[in-house]
Structure 1
């Protein structure tokens, strides 16, 4: 006798669907600026978070070395970032947001804020605070580097 599994009742499935809904809405709106969710996160990491090393940026975004290299190469081709050798150690690579990249960040911030507002508007302040606590608890002890973010 097999034990039934009800996919749509699974908490993991429901979290995935909810996450994909907000991700898709954000991706669709960022696309108008020539950005993806990943390039947006990289611009935030390098521009507003002050991260300069590709490995730091990859960790912040939750992607692996191959993905960060590919994304940085494309973003450099698009004029959003520049890569340069480190001053103290010429073997290191540093990432800087260009003026065009900074403009894109400023244009995308209202999009990201609206996306967050739409999600949070469905919940009370107490529910938002509780949801943040629950999500933090679910992440505890888990691998933080998301290879397929």
Structure 2
């Protein structure tokens, strides 16, 4: 045994992962009644509030791979939340747009997302929250290849 053993539950990666899971689970439990997951919610945000319209843009925005984004888009199209159509040019590009049902879901869930964020942010002072955001950005800044693959 070494003088400085690795302690899983004390490691930064473990704690950040667990925090992300707790935040996601709390949110997903509350949006399940709308037939949404965290990923489908993020697609609604990407297309409805950020103006992103291609699967690749949406995947990068959410931080998921293109395959996962395509799977979510197929599911959302079947639910009537989005439409997918051929884009301009050679016909191979896909354009994503929210339907009226997708817009309604976005508006219905937005207050839940805001409350979920506020629930966790309220546990920190403004200084702690600003510091956490700066620290997270700093930890991610030298990882472009990894972040781009998420």
TM class by shorter chain equals over 0.9
Counterpart CA distance in 2 for 1:130 and 1:65 is 32
Distance 2:96 2:21 in 1: 29
Structure 1 residue 4 displacement after superposition: 2.9
Query: Looking at both structures, which has the greater relative contact order when contacts are Cα pairs under 8 Å and sequence separation is at least 6?
Result: 1
CA deviation profile, 1:73-94 (whole Å, cap 9, x unmatched): 1100000000011134422110
Deviation at 1:139, TM superposition (A): 0.6
SS, match of residue 148 in structure 2: coil
- For residues 19 and 40 of structure 1, the distance between their equivalents in structure 2, rounded to whole angstroms, comes to 16
SS at match of 1:87: coil
Report the TM-score, using the length of structure 2 for normalisation. Answer: 0.92
Structure 1: which 5+ residue stretches go unaligned?
A: none
Partners of 1:83 and 1:132 in 2: CA distance: 35
The structure that is helix-richer by fraction is: 2
Gap change, CA 1:93 and 1:100, over 3 Å in 2: same
Corresponding residue for residue 18 of structure 1 = 19
What is the number of equivalent residue pairs in this alignment?
147
Q: Deviations over 1:69-114 (max 9, x none)?
A: 1111110000000001113442211000000000000011011000
> What per-residue deviation string (whole Å, max 9, x for no partner) do you get for residues 120-145 of structure 1?
10001111111110010011121223
RMSD over equivalenced CA pairs, Å: 1.3
